[in-house]
Structure 1
Amino acid sequence: MTDHKNKIDDPPKGTEASPTATNKSTGETQGDESYWLKKKNELNGEGVPYSEWDDSRMLVPSSLELGPGAVDRYVISKQIVRMQEPRRLTRDDMDERRIIYPESKNQRMVNRFRDLRTRLLETSGGNNFTMVVTGASAGAGCSFVALNLAAAFAFDQSKTALIIDCNLREPSLNTTLDIQPEFGLTDFLDDSDYDIARILYPTGIPRLRLIPAGSQREIPAEFFTSFRMKQFLQAVRRRYPDRFIILDTAPITESPDARILAELCDYAMLVVPHGRVTPDLVEQAATAFNSEKFVGAVING
């Protein structure tokens, strides 16, 4: 969908058998559904109830321990259904926050994001991917587009989505979703022993998770150029073979973060505020990306 411009009309703001892996301490097979149900009532090493961190673990045995290509889609879909939702945003909550959902009264906006999702899936050949979303200028509505695109991917009950707030200067996603995070991305990147489950937050939207910016944000570029950031994105993608990962970043005209992160991701998308920037500025912002990764611009307004 290279060079495609999509207008968003909203103001900026198998078989019965399944693969198994044996748990070394218990001898139980992890592909067995009873294993996961049993784990619901157990604690991990940090004393956190399994129900609070299972969505960060439950896809690991089938995708990592059995190797590439051994993932059983039936097992994954059953695990996705069991993802815990400690809270659910109501329809009024979603409307107030301008977040799409299938039954929204604003079907025009829902269909815009569904169309955008379809075009991206065509580009990726139906495979999951990581994508940077950035604005052509401040106030372009990048976070609005990134969050709703992630929500559109989460419409599918067999898929999950993850949105990562990489706008370390002005993070906003946790406020939009009414989440008060204790930890986030920079905390994980700063500590090699950090458990990724500690920075994954349910959003109140089924099958959509958030990784907030984190508490340490002094020098963003140093976090994003670190080898640990590259490892983090690779690990998250391997753990979730059916998860689409969206990175919300600072405007490309104000920070190098989007360009840095785009080198680590599959795609990059530009959000252009309608009628507020010149064509030359848009072209300059678009050409900052690798042409093979740039999938196009979304006009928001």
Structure 2
Amino acid sequence: MSDGGLTMRQMQHLLGFTWTPSPTSYEDAFKVMKTALKQGANFWNGGEHYGPPDANSLQLLKAYFTKYPEDAEKVVLSIKGGMGKDHAFDGTEKGVRPSVENCVRLLGGSKKIDIFECARVDKNTPIEETMAALLKMRNEGLIGGIGLSEVRAETIRRAAKVAPIAAVEIELSLWSTDPTRNGILDACRELKIPVVAYSPLGRGFLTGKFQSPDDIPEGDRRRTFPRFQEGMFDANMKLVRALEGIANKKGVTLPQIAISWVLALEKQFDVTIIPIPGSTKRDRVLENTTVVSLADAELAEVDVILSQNPVEGERYAENVMRLSDG
């Protein structure tokens, strides 16, 4: 890691440790993590709030690196935190420091946090104050670098004036194309900041495994997302079916098309982009880390499909959308 960023060109895949409604045993998770690392997916993303306090992604990571200490230096670990009760965020040092220290404590010395980012921007605290607090903690050695999450272009530019930015994490996919138009990718190119694209498979919608809202398991929080609701679900399936046509003609899977499209934006915007598909099964890791090349004609066909099949519904419920840096 350099002072400001990462040599992300060496990290073409990322493994996301996100919330899942069906528990996975540590041993099964370890197999997936080992497969990911073998496939070159050495940039791992977790969160203090991914799972309950006594069994979240940090406990899993500690268990893994305790069992396989030789892998600690092979992995770049990015952790999101800063969320308090009721999804509240406090961007002051008093609010952020306990989260950073808790994440360090949960890892128990098994692995250093290479990048720490507040999951959302505190709208009541200037981003400059939050960055100064994180810079202080970086200089103390608590974290290796500072990331940003769910931010707009203006916030990126303001934050970068205070401290080096290691990465900017945003939702970016065929399901969420706003960053290609709202200046975020342009800001990251100008400032030479790598982009971490979360939910590149549209929270599973772009895998084609959901054919109706009833296919979403009970207790799965996607049931609360507008895009998965009756009416909007059927409209959004038109996009999936159209994209499946390209995948079938090419003899690849829809997830491979989705991830490869995200990676193709690197050339268009001249910025490093790392997609972060969350995977709980070894086969999915192998599929998601097999990148296919999309010809210019195929990318143009995708553009037409996107224009003819706009996604309906917000990314999150209204109360969650209000937390975004809009």
TM-score by length of 2: 0.34
Structure having the higher helix fraction is 2
After TM superposition, the score normalised by the length of structure 1 is 0.37
